[in-house]
Every structure is written in structure tokens, then in C-alpha cells.
Amino acid sequence: MIEVLNKYKPRCIVEANNAQDAIYEQIRNRISYNKNHIEPFVTGQKNKQNIIEDLIVAFEQREIGILSEQWLIEELNNFTYDYNLKTRQIKYSAPTGFHDDGVMSLAFAWAAYKSLKGAGKMIVL
């Protein structure tokens, strides 16, 4: 990944939460171009809700599609939410025993695309 980043020198958004902080720092330290082009994305309940809901809308409006990867389709189908009546907040996640890495990666990719689409040439890897 570092080779690709150094070759194309893109602006990039990297998740930076807890364990991912070290990955973000390693990427930022190993690129050979403007360090400010590597931006952290700290996932909190509110911005997670925003990027998931943006992804939902993108699917509904057919702005985004995915390859027919069974594991990702299953993750998307299993992904769920809980609504807290007291706080009136929605919490998105995979049910216990399931994963949401693919869903979250897709949501990050869509958020990055929306955020950076006016920043220059887009390359999707």
C-alpha cells in the first residue's frame, strides 16, 4: 500500500481509532510526499451513523454498486441497527458473532470519495 501511495501521491483518509492509530501513524510516517495528504478519520457514534446512512442512500440512489462478493453481500445483509428510545440515537453494527469490516470499509471508501472527489484525479484501488 505504501508503494501505491508513494507512486500516485493521493489524498487519503485512514481510520484512526484505538488500535488503528498505530496504522495511521505508520502510513503517515512512511509516505514520501506531503504528510498532510494522509488524514485521520476518527470513528465516533455520530460520524459512524453519518457515513453508514450516506452509504445506505448511495445504494438506494444507485450511486454505488459492489462486485458480487458473497462475503460482502452477507455482511451487508446482516448489518443492523438498534434504536435507543431514551436517547433517540441509532447504533449501527454487525450482530453478535458477525463482522462488519467490509461494510465499514465500504462506508469509509464512500465517505472518502465524497470528501475528496473535488481534490483532483480519482484512482480507485
Average pLDDT, the chain: 89
pLDDT of residue 13: 83
Model pLDDT for residues 11-31, shown as the tens digit of each residue: 888 888 877 788 899 999 999
80-105 confidence digits (pLDDT tens): 999 999 999 899 999 999 999 999 99
What is the residue range of 24's domain?
1-42
Q: Are residues 38 and 50 in the same domain?
A: no
Residue appearing with cell numbers 501513524: 25
Total domain count, the chain? 2
Q: Is 43 within 8 Å of 69 (Cβ atoms)?
A: no
Statement to judge: residues 37 and 48 lie in one domain: no
What's the rounded Cα separation, in Å, for the pair 98 and 76?
11
Is 0.85 surpassed by the pTM of this model?
A: no
